[in-house]
């Protein structure tokens, strides 16, 4: 192990108490087994062929807004992802216990869209105007991949975002 805990205040009584705390946490709040399984399975989402777009705007992270629109039913959360030649604007909407994404490719163009989410992978088409929508997504991390159809069709994907 390259990193070890720093015990610069090694009072034996402190360390005994700390060891008891650690055992307690091990009993009552371990990493849930299902969550760890999902983290191992996350490796399957590795892709090496796609350009990673940057999240350049997210209304959730704006200024001092404290209340998320998505969770509280106000204006929808808007996100912008930019790549070198393609951008996508996405609106995330809460629909009951599910999420809906409405997207716009810039510049507008047809494309195949793959949306990865907890429930699997959903494929939809972006029309000639670059518009697409996907319903019934499971809340949690999502990622949008775009496969454009023009000459030299390219693949572009967003980072994972929790909606």
Partner 1 sequence: MDADGDLVRRAGQGQQSAWDALVARYGSRVWAVARAFRLSQADAEDVFQTTWLHLVTHLDGIRDPERIGAWLATTARNECLCALRRAGRQVPTGDDADLEISDVAEPEVDAGVLASERDAQLWEAVGRLSGSCQRLLRALLADPAPSYVEVSAALGMPIGSIGPRRARCLQYLRTSLVGITGST
Please tell me the count of residues contacting partner 1 according to CB under 8 A: 51
HEC-encoded secondary structure of the chain: CCCCCCCCCCCHHHHHHHHHHHHHHHHHCCCCHHHHHHHHHHHHHCCCCCEECEEEEEHHHCCCCCCCHHHHCCCCEEEEEECCCCEEEEEEEEECCEEEEEEEEECCCCEEEEEEECCEEEEEEECCCCEEEEEEECCCEEEEEEEECCCCCCEEECCCEEC
Indicate the residue among 23 and 106 with the shorter CB distance to partner 1.
23
49 is a site residue for partner 1 (CB under 8 A): no
Indicate the residue among 63 and 107 with the shorter CB distance to partner 1.
63
45 is a site residue for partner 1 (CB under 8 A): yes
Q: Are 153 and 135 in contact (CB under 8 A)?
A: no
Within 65-124, the residues that bind partner 1 by CB under 8 A are 65-68, 70-72
Within 125-154, the residues that bind partner 1 by CB under 8 A are 140-141, 143
Indicate the residue among 21 and 128 with the shorter CB distance to partner 1.
21
Residue ranges that bind partner 1, judged by CB under 8 A: 1-6, 8-9, 11, 13-14, 17-18, 20-22, 24-32, 35-36, 38-40, 42-43, 45-46, 48, 52, 60-61, 65-68, 70-72, 140-141, 143, 159-160, 162
């Amino acid at each position: 192990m390259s990193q070890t805990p720093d015990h610069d205040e090694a009072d034996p009584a402190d360390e005994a108490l700390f060891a008891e705390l650690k055992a307690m946490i091990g009993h009552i709040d371990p990493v849930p087994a299902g969550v760890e399984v999902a983290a191992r399975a996350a490796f399957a989402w590795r892709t090496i062929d796609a350009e990673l777009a940057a999240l350049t705007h997210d209304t959730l992270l704006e200024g001092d807004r404290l209340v998320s629109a998505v969770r509280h039913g106000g204006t929808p959360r808007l996100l912008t992802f930019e790549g070198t030649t393609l951008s996508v604007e996405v609106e995330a909407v809460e629909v009951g216990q599910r999420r809906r994404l409405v997207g716009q490719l810039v510049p507008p163009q047809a494309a195949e869209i793959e949306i990865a989410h907890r429930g699997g992978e959903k494929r939809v088409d972006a029309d000639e105007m670059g518009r697409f929508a996907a319903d019934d997504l499971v809340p949690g991390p999502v990622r949008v991949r775009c496969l454009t159809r023009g000459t030299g069709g390219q693949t572009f994907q967003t980072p994972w975002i929790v909606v």
